[in-house]
């Protein structure tokens, strides 16, 4: 099985972007504090990697 690195990078970036959007939505909905600052990006990175690993098992 040949790994397409461009596709893998695209999936990782997409997973990060999607999780960042979800966290931003939670912040706008006042579910998540506005004072989270740079941690939002860190949480998006961690949850994006987890989402990537789950997506890779499905695809």
The token duo for 12 is 């990782």
Instruction: Kindly provide the b/e burial profile for residues 21-35, where b requires at least 16 CB atoms within 10 angstroms of the residue's own CB.
Output: ebbeeeeeeeebeee
Please check the confidence at residue 51 and state whether its pLDDT lies above 70.
Answer: yes
For the chain, what is the mean pLDDT? 91
Instruction: Note the pTM of the prediction, 2 decimals.
Output: 0.83
- pLDDT, tens only, 28-48: 999 989 899 999 999 999 999
**Of 5, 16, 26, whose CA–CA distance to 47 is shortest?**
16
Count the Cβ atoms, other than its own, within 10 Å of residue 19: 22
């Amino acid at each position: 099985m040949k790994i397409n690195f461009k596709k893998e990078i695209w999936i990782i970036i997409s997973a990060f972007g999607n999780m960042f959007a979800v966290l931003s939505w939670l912040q706008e909905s006042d579910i998540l504090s506005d004072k989270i600052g740079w941690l939002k990006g860190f949480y998006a990175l961690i949850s994006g990697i987890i989402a990537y690993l789950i997506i890779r098992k499905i695809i």
